[in-house]
Structure 1
Amino acid sequence: MNLDVFLSLFSLMLISLAVFLLSKKLKLPYTVLLVIAGSLLVPISHIEFFSFITSFDLTPELLFFVFLPILIFESAYNMNIRYVTENIYSIGLLAVVGLLISTLFIGIGGFYAFEWVGFHVPMLVLLLFGAIISSTDPVAVLALFKEYGAPQRLTLIFEGESLFNDSTGFAAFLIILEMIVEGYHGYESAALALFSFVTMLGGGIVFGLMMGFIFAKLIEAVRGNEHLEITLTLLVAHFTFILTEVISEHFVIAGQHIRLSSIIATLVASMVIGNFGRYKMSPDVEEYMEKFWGYFAFVTNSLVFILMGLLFADLAIDLNIAFLPIMLAIVTVVIGRALSVYPLMWLLNKTGKERPIPRNWMHLMAWGSLRGSLAVIMVLLIPDDLTVPGWNFKFSVKDFVAAVTIGSIYFTLLVKATTIGKVMHALGIDALTDMEKVGYHKSKAQIYDKLLLKLNDLQNEHQLTPKQYENLKQRYQSLYQIACLECKNAIGDSDTLIENMLRTYALGIEKEELKEIFQRGEIEEKTYKKITNMLSIQTERIKRGQQQVKSINEHFPIDSLERFVLMVSRLAFWRDHSFKAEELYRYYRALSKISGIVVKELIAVENSSLKAVFDDKAAMETLLTLYKALQANNQAKMQSVIHKDEELLNQLNEAEATQSLTVLQEVTLNKLHKNEIITNKLYIILRDELEQRNH
């Protein structure tokens, strides 16, 4: 029997891979084809030879304690806290207020709709369904948004809503489920439900922050040991989730059971690791993390969606009976979503708390609300024997909720997901901005320029005949010239497009050089974060058509998470977080270096074939003047630090030289080992000697 389970698991994974390849060929959403494949597996499993396919069962425990933390961490880890706080009103309104509006409408409106067609379903059951189906699925939505090129801010709002409304929806689900089990007792039950909702979300946030910072410190403590760093990120997701559930089981104050939201605790802890802990990881691990968690999320979602198809095809309720309730549920959910989007976003635009949400974005928010794995998890958590007064159907409450939930999920996947691209195009959301149009042609020109340089190398190395070289050169030279011409046409008479392109190009160079400086150990973590935040703010300003810097001495604010860290750290440890003299010197030196690299690159562009792309002498001079001024300003500040402590420069130079030599030794040793020039035994001996010498 156990062999059948394992055979089923790995067969489903193999089928998922085949479906993924098929989705690329058919250009259909991967998750849509997965649920269709899952549905087709049920009749196949009735053949004796393939009966093992359905042996692997999606248990609530497996979904809840293993799969769900992986999906939460993978999405939350890559969310930039600064972007979230900039759009916190829209995300918060949709994730909390919007979800509650949708849940109440589905419960109350659905009750009267079902009554109207003679299908008497108790309101509490429909409220339970509302809590389950109102939260959107980030995986299905974001995959489609990335494929069709939705605007970055719209994608962020959708992702933030999808993540935060998971916790809101699950909290509402648990509260309504408890009301069904314990019974509804009027005002007392409503007040208790509100208290539970607030403590679940508030307690989850506090506990998540605590766990996130604890694991960030643990990752810092084991920095350099790649296996331990990766293991700790795996633990932060599951340990936070499970520990929150354990605390919720035993946390009692004044006789009142206090529950914490395991979903929001894991979400917050994952965001802390992604925005604070990632800088404490080894450079190689930090780059590997996204691939590591992306793979786990891919496998998890593949299994969840394909098993969702199996679950739907194997429903206990007769589809002839369930068809009408499913259709009514779908209509109610669509209207509930619209009510949770349009009024709230209109109100937000009126208050002016954030940049306005365009009307066409609202349309996509209402239509693009796909449902997925969390809804299935909540359905499976409903007790099989759950009942409610007034339930007179032959099928159970769980069977009914499962039918309308999976029917609604199928609608979002088969209808909404397959039409999102067309809806975006019809609404003009996928249209390129003026800067993107210029960037498109500019990028093509840069690519063809690189190809022409490579052709010269191939000719010099005698890998091409003169005729082949001339043919290829003529082809790519023509494509390069067309791209340059199209770039100029896209720019037209605009004075700002070229300058903004150059500024974006310069900031990209700065970011790349800064990361290398950090990886070489030339600057501290807090310096790297401070400069990274500064460059991100400048990039956002350019996207919004604003001035890159207000002055060469402008002070850039740190993000909200960093402010929180400094506040807590000062209160808890009484530490001084101001820059020490040597840190301040390294900070100004790093700024000076990246500014100097930009100046060199811009001068190189002026003297290269790319001048045809950046053909605006005034814009180039403006930017060169700015970066030369920034470099000179930072060099002056470096000198002012040194004048206060003349011995400091000698100490820093010696420390930097030592650090560079240490890094070079490690790199050389690793290359010798990787290329099998030395044996594994020699590698271990030399590595241990190097570590002892450095410590």
Structure 2
Amino acid sequence: MNLDVFLSLFSLMLISLAVFILSKKLKLPYTVLLVIAGSLLVPISHIDFFSFITSFELTPELLFFVFLPILIFESAYNMNIRHLLENIYSIGLLAVAGLLVSVLFIGFGGQYIFEFAGYHIPILALLLFGAIISSTDPVAVLALFKEYGAPQRLTLIFEGESLFNDATSFAAFLIALDLMTHGYQGPDSAVSGLISFLTMLGGGLVFGLFMGFLFAKLIEKVHGNEHLEITLTLLVAHFTFILTEVISEHLYIAGQQIRLSSIIATLIASMVIGNFGRYKMSPHVEEYMEQFWGYFAFVTNSLVFILMGLLFASLAIDLNVAIWLILLAIATVVISRGLAVYPLLWLLNLLGKERPIPRNWMHLLAWGSLRGSLAIVMVLLIPNDLSIEGWNLDFTVKQFIAAVTIGCIYFTLLVKATTIGKVMHVLGIDALTAMEQVGYHKSKAQIYDKSLMKLDELLQNQHIDQNQHADLRQRYQSLYQLACLDYKTAIGDSSIMIENMLRTYALGIEKEELKELLLKEEIEEKTYKKITNMLSIQTERIKRGQEQVKSVDEHFPIDSLEKLVLMVSRLAFWRDHSFKPEELYCYYRALHKIAGRVVGELGTLEGSGLSQVFDDQVVLDRILTLYRAFQANTWKKMQAILSQNSESLSRLNQSTANQSLNAVQMDTLDKLHKNEIITSKLYIMLRHELEQNKR
């Protein structure tokens, strides 16, 4: 039997890969084809030879404790907390208030809809269904948003809502399930449910912060041991989730059980690791983390959606009866989503708490509300023998909820997901902004310029002959000239747009140089994080048409998470997070280096192929003047610190030089071993010697 389960698991993974390849050829959403493939596997499994296919099943434990933490961590790890807080009102309204509006409408409004069609469904059953189906799933729709080019802010709002309303939805589900199990006792039950809802979210938030900072500290302690760092990120997701559930089972205050939201705790802990703990990882591990978790999320989603198809195809309910219930449920859910989006965002725009959300964005938020894995988790958690007063249908409460839930999921995947691209196009959301049009042609010009440089290199190395070089050069020179012409046409006489493009280009150079300094271990995570935050703020300002900096001495605010860390550190007497003279010197030295890199690269534009792209000499001189001022300012501050701390900084410079030499030595040794110039035995001996010399 165990062999059948393993054979089923790996067969499903193999089928998922085939479906992924097919989805690329058919240009259909991957998750949609997975669900269809899962449905088709049920009749195939009736053949004796393929009977093992259904041996691996979705269980509540597997989905809840294994798959769900992976999906939460992967999304939350990559979410920028500063961008999240800039849109916290829209995300909060949709994730909490919007979800509750949806749940209540499905419960109370849905009863009238079903009654009108001749089905008497008790309100509690519909409230339970509303709690399950109201949470949006980001997996399929976000992939489509990125593919069709949805605006970054719209993508962030949708992803933020999808993450946070998972916690809201699950809390509402537990309350509704408790009401169905123990019965509604009047206002006391409503008040108790509200208190339970707030403690789940609030308690999960606090516990998530604690676990996130705890694991960030552990990652800092094992810095340099790559395997331990990766293992700790794996643990933070599952350990936080499971420990929250354990605490919820045993935490009683005044005889009242206090539940914490394991979803919100894992979400917050993951965001702390992604925005705070990632800077404490070894640079190579930090680069690898997105690929590592992206792979796990891919496998998890593949299994969840293909097994979802298997689950639906094997429902023990008459499809002739279920189809009408499903259609009524779909209509109810569509209306509830509209009520959860339009009034709340219209009110937000009226209050002016955030940048206005355009009407066409509201349309897409209402239409692009796909449902997925969490809904299946909650359906599986419903007891098979759950009963409710007034239930007189021929199937159980769980069978009804399972049928309408999976039917709604199918509708969102087969109808909504496949039409999102067309809806975006009709609404004009995929249209390029003026800045993006200019960036498109500029990028093409840069690509073809690099191609021309590569052609000259190929000729010099005798990889192509003169005739081949001439033919290819003529072709790419024409493409380059055409891209430059399109660029100039798109930008017109707008010197402001030229300046913004050049400033964005300069900031890209800064970010690249900063990353290299971190990889060479010339700066620490504190310095890297501070400068990254500064460059991120400058980039956002340029996107909004604001000044890049107010002055060369401008002080950039730290993000809210860093403020929290500083506050807790001072209260708990942790290590001082302020910059010491040596750290401040390294900070200004890093700024001096990245400004110097920009001056060097911009200074060579005139003689390069990009001279036709950035051909406004006045703008170029203005930006060069700014970065030279940065250089002079940081150099002045470095000298001031040096004059007051000459002895300690002399040791720092010596230590930095030794670090650079050690890095070169290790890199050279790794290349010798990788290219099989030395044996593994010699590699181990030499590495051991170099590590000894470092101490």
Q: Please indicate the TM-score interval, normalised by the length of the shorter structure.
A: over 0.9
Shift of 1:526: 1.1
Q: Deviations over 1:21-48 (max 9, x none)?
A: 0100010000011101111111111112
Q: Secondary structure at the match of 2:317?
A: coil
Shift of 1:671: 2.2
- How far apart in 1 are the matches of 2:588 and 2:624? 19
Q: Percent identity?
A: 77
For 2:400, the equivalent position in structure 1 comes to 400
For 2:489, the equivalent position in structure 1 comes to 489
- How far apart in 1 are the matches of 2:22 and 2:577? 54
For 2:237, the equivalent position in structure 1 comes to 237
- How far apart in 2 are the matches of 1:446 and 1:243? 51
Greater shift, 635-644 or 340-349, is seen at 635-644
Q: Secondary structure at the match of 2:673?
A: helix
- Would you say the 8 A contact 2:107–2:130 is kept in 1? yes
For 2:82, the equivalent position in structure 1 comes to 82
- How far apart in 1 are the matches of 2:142 and 2:50? 34
Q: Secondary structure at the match of 2:666?
A: helix
Answer yes or no: is 1:520 the counterpart of 2:523.
no
Matched letter for residue 196 of structure 1 = S
For 2:362, the equivalent position in structure 1 comes to 362
Q: Deviations over 1:148-168 (max 9, x none)?
A: 110000000000000000000
- Would you say the 8 A contact 2:229–2:285 is kept in 1? yes
Shift of 1:574: 5.2
- How far apart in 2 are the matches of 1:457 and 1:390? 81
- How far apart in 2 are the matches of 1:465 and 1:686? 43
Matched letter for residue 193 of structure 1 = G
Q: Deviations over 1:209-231 (max 9, x none)?
A: 11111111111111111111111
Q: Deviations over 1:124-162 (max 9, x none)?
A: 000000000000001111111011110000000000000
Answer yes or no: is 1:345 the counterpart of 2:340.
no
Shift of 1:2: 1.4
Shift of 1:3: 1.4
Matched letter for residue 550 of structure 1 = K
For 2:20, the equivalent position in structure 1 comes to 20
For 2:604, the equivalent position in structure 1 comes to 604
Shift of 1:669: 2.4
Shift of 1:118: 1.3
Q: Deviations over 1:631-655 (max 9, x none)?
A: 1111111111112223244222212
For 1:37, the equivalent position in structure 2 comes to 37
- How far apart in 1 are the matches of 2:523 and 2:466? 49
Using a 3 Å threshold, how does the CA distance of structure 1 residues 674 and 463 change in structure 2: closer, same or farther?
closer
Q: Deviations over 1:159-209 (max 9, x none)?
A: 000000000000100111011111110111001100110010000011111
For 2:558, the equivalent position in structure 1 comes to 558
For 1:542, the equivalent position in structure 2 comes to 542
Shift of 1:666: 1.9
Q: Deviations over 1:69-118 (max 9, x none)?
A: 00000000000110001111110000000000001001111011111111
Structure 1 residue runs of 4 or more that deviate by more than 3 Å after TM superposition:
none
For 2:388, the equivalent position in structure 1 comes to 388
- How far apart in 1 are the matches of 2:461 and 2:639? 48
Matched letter for residue 356 of structure 1 = P
Shift of 1:460: 1.6
Task: After TM superposition, list the pairs within 5 Å mapping 1:163-242 onto structure 2.
Answer: 163-242=163-242
- How far apart in 2 are the matches of 1:641 and 1:494? 42
Q: Secondary structure at the match of 1:423?
A: helix
Matched letter for residue 522 of structure 2 = E
- Would you say the 8 A contact 2:284–2:519 is kept in 1? no
How does the TM-score come out when normalised to structure 1?
0.99
Answer yes or no: is 1:461 the counterpart of 2:461.
yes
Q: Secondary structure at the match of 2:431?
A: coil
- How far apart in 1 are the matches of 2:477 and 2:665? 44
Using a 3 Å threshold, how does the CA distance of structure 1 residues 660 and 460 change in structure 2: closer, same or farther?
same
- RMSD over aligned Cα, in angstroms? 1.0
Unpaired stretches in structure 2, ≥5 consecutive residues: none
Task: After TM superposition, list the pairs within 5 Å mapping 1:617-632 onto structure 2.
Answer: 617-632=617-632
For 1:653, the equivalent position in structure 2 comes to 653
For 2:122, the equivalent position in structure 1 comes to 122
Task: After TM superposition, list the pairs within 5 Å mapping 1:92-111 onto structure 2.
Answer: 92-111=92-111
- How far apart in 1 are the matches of 2:216 and 2:401? 40
- How far apart in 2 are the matches of 1:298 and 1:652? 45
Greater shift, 44-53 or 525-534, is seen at 44-53
Q: Secondary structure at the match of 1:383?
A: coil
For 1:583, the equivalent position in structure 2 comes to 583
- How far apart in 2 are the matches of 1:312 and 1:85? 38
Matched letter for residue 355 of structure 2 = R
Answer yes or no: is 1:678 the counterpart of 2:678.
yes
- Would you say the 8 A contact 2:213–2:269 is kept in 1? yes
Using a 3 Å threshold, how does the CA distance of structure 1 residues 464 and 678 change in structure 2: closer, same or farther?
closer
- Would you say the 8 A contact 2:569–2:576 is kept in 1? no
Using a 3 Å threshold, how does the CA distance of structure 1 residues 37 and 161 change in structure 2: closer, same or farther?
same
Matched letter for residue 236 of structure 1 = V
Unpaired stretches in structure 1, ≥5 consecutive residues: none
Shift of 1:68: 0.4
For 2:663, the equivalent position in structure 1 comes to 663
- How far apart in 1 are the matches of 2:448 and 2:314? 55
For 1:10, the equivalent position in structure 2 comes to 10
Greater shift, 638-647 or 287-296, is seen at 638-647
